[in-house]
Structure 1
Amino acid sequence: MRLFPVIMALFVTVLLVSNTVAVKVTHLGPFYFDGATILFPIAYIFGDILTEVYGYKRSRIVVWTGFTACVMMSFVYWLVGILPAAGDWHQQEAYLSILGQTPRIVMASLIAYLCGEFVNAFIMAKMKIATRGRFLWTRTISSTVVGQGVDTVLFVIIAFSGIIPGSLLMHMILSNYVFKTAFEILATPFTYAAVGFVKKVDAVDYYDNDTDFNPFRVSFKDMA
């Protein structure tokens, strides 16, 4: 599995960068979304590739690796933020406004990520068995429609419910969901090419026929 560690590293990198740039909220046309929206769908594409090629068991390890990395990142941002600033360094407020960790946002991000990614991987794996490995596009799109839906709804509601008006809350959910889902659909040719390339290089095409889909049952034997 020469490409597995590379794809895992890219997945975690995209995840960390997405969570960092999520602090900026932007408004383009009818869409109202945070900065992570333009990048986070790529994590789902990597997730699709991992599950399609290497199976749910190995994807489960990657999901938990990403979760651990996000926790560590949030902790370091928080720790650096509470350290006393040097007398001649006047950017403390700027640092806190961008990288200061709000417990509610962190919790929303982690819960939404875990639930969305595991739903995405579960649907990919089950549909691959049901379709006997055919019609990849049905799996990538279906898993994204449900996984991104779970992720978006959980994050926005946990992070912003009671803080912004209900109408804006719904608008943000719809904007994020439509953008992310459309991104995945448009990226289908790329996903096909990437999956084919990885299967060829690593000579792997795993089917989760006997897999225990409990997301908490992680064993590093699955890396073998």
Structure 2
Amino acid sequence: MSAARVSAGPVYLVPIAGLFGAVLMISLVLAGKIVSVGGLTFTAAVIVFPASYLFGDVLTEVYGYASTRAVVWTGFLAQALWILAYGIAAALPPASFWPHQAAFEAVLGATPRLALAGLAAYLTGEFLNAYLLAKLKLRFRGRGLAARLVASTLVGQGIDSALFIGLGFGGLYPAADLVRLALSIWALKVAWEIVALPLSVPLIGFLKRAEGRDAFDTDTDFNPFRLRG
């Protein structure tokens, strides 16, 4: 890949960041529904939320921890905006001919608490996942991509699931049910990551070639609150 191509800037970073944000917003709405399939209980957000870790893996592996950090904080701000916008929308008086205020609140009413829980879980899990992936890449000199993706997800998604369930549903359901729910969600997310490996590994390889980038965070400041370096 030519130096001119690299200096022109990344081509796929913005689309990936956009998809990352879309997954987060969809997850906020779907998280309000708890489903049970095949003996496993989980929130409907599991349908799409693990994709945020896939995109986070791509960002860290190809573009580096600093790029992931910027995208993660952008996603945080988008979710915070959603909480504010929903609160205002729910508080506004409904039109006399619009009979769906109760349904609106019933479907989305749990969203603010879930969103706040999700923000804490999301920031902790995503940054931990990105940190571990970057460090493991240095430790193994870029080898063992699939194993590194799964290992970082095991830890990041585990913390994410525990925080989200504890903060989002604590006090609403028996503790034993919440533990089972968190474990089910964690298992499904990790399974999602493993099933997605035939997609994520070639995608990362393609992006490295197309962008002329393969980030190694040797001198990176891993402070999640520092947006540069």
For the aligned pair, the TM-score class normalised by the smaller chain equals over 0.9
1:76 partner SS = helix
- Residue in 1 that maps onto 2:85: 76
Looking at structure 2, the residues matched to 76 and 100 of structure 1 have their Cα atoms a distance apart, in angstroms, of 13
> Are residues 1:146 and 2:155 paired?
yes
- Residue in 2 that maps onto 1:40: 49
2:78 partner SS = helix
> Are residues 1:192 and 2:205 paired?
no
Residue among 25, 30, 33 paired with 2:34: 25
Unaligned residue ranges in structure 2 (runs of 5+): 1-9
2:215 partner SS = coil
Residue among 134, 140, 145 paired with 2:143: 134
Residue among 172, 190, 207 paired with 2:216: 207
1:32 partner SS = strand
Amino acid at match of 1:55: G
Unaligned residue ranges in structure 1 (runs of 5+): none
The structure 1 segments of at least 4 consecutive aligned residues displaced by more than 4 Å after TM superposition are none
Looking at structure 2, the residues matched to 135 and 184 of structure 1 have their Cα atoms a distance apart, in angstroms, of 15
Residue among 8, 11, 18 paired with 1:2: 11
The count of aligned residue pairs is 220
- Residue in 1 that maps onto 2:7: none
Amino acid at match of 2:202: A
- Residue in 2 that maps onto 1:159: 168
- Residue in 2 that maps onto 1:85: 94
- TM-score normalized by the length of structure 2: 0.93
Shift of 1:34: 0.7
> Are residues 1:125 and 2:137 paired?
no
> Are residues 1:94 and 2:86 paired?
no
Shift of 1:103: 4.3
Shift of 1:104: 3.0
1:15-49 deviation per Cα after TM superposition (whole angstroms, max 9, x unaligned): 11111111111110111011101211111000000
Q: CA contact under 8 A between 1:23 and 1:34: conserved in structure 2?
A: yes
1:23 partner SS = coil
Looking at structure 1, the residues matched to 213 and 97 of structure 2 have their Cα atoms a distance apart, in angstroms, of 56
Q: CA contact under 8 A between 1:56 and 1:125: conserved in structure 2?
A: yes
| Aligned CA-pair RMSD | 1.1
Q: CA contact under 8 A between 1:78 and 1:100: conserved in structure 2?
A: no
Q: CA contact under 8 A between 2:83 and 2:112: conserved in structure 1?
A: no
Q: CA contact under 8 A between 1:74 and 1:101: conserved in structure 2?
A: no
1:150 partner SS = helix
Amino acid at match of 2:197: T
2:213 partner SS = coil
1:191-212 deviation per Cα after TM superposition (whole angstroms, max 9, x unaligned): 1111011111111111100001
1:171 partner SS = helix
Aligned sequence identity (%): 44
Looking at structure 1, the residues matched to 27 and 15 of structure 2 have their Cα atoms a distance apart, in angstroms, of 18
Looking at structure 2, the residues matched to 176 and 83 of structure 1 have their Cα atoms a distance apart, in angstroms, of 35
